[in-house]
Amino acid sequence: MTYPTEPQSAVDQLLHDRFEREAVKLLLIGNPAAVEQCILELERKGFCDSYAWSASLPINANSAIVVPRPGEKMRLYKRWYPPTVQRIPL
């Protein structure tokens, strides 16, 4: 038995063809306990589910963009939004 490489909809269209969306990726960096606390607070406020974040990831000490302190970890989260040309005034 073979399985499809892409999920199919009820009308035989690929899901990514039916729903246009764009990803925004969030990155939390810090002391592992503080990062966990931040994720739980974001979940309590209804922004995300805590299980949707990546596992804790080590930070490369030679990174040019991020300079970690000893023991810091990072976690990633991807949130999907419909594409829009509407601008929200600041």
pLDDT tens for 41-88 read: 999 999 889 999 999 988 777 766 677 788 888 888 888 877 765 666
- pLDDT at position 85: 58
The Cα–Cα gap between 35 and 28 comes to 6
Given a contact cutoff of 8 angstroms between Cβ atoms, the answer to whether 21 and 81 are in contact is: yes
Given a contact cutoff of 8 angstroms between Cβ atoms, the answer to whether 43 and 49 are in contact is: yes
Indicate the domain borders of the chain. 28-81
Global pTM?
A: 0.61
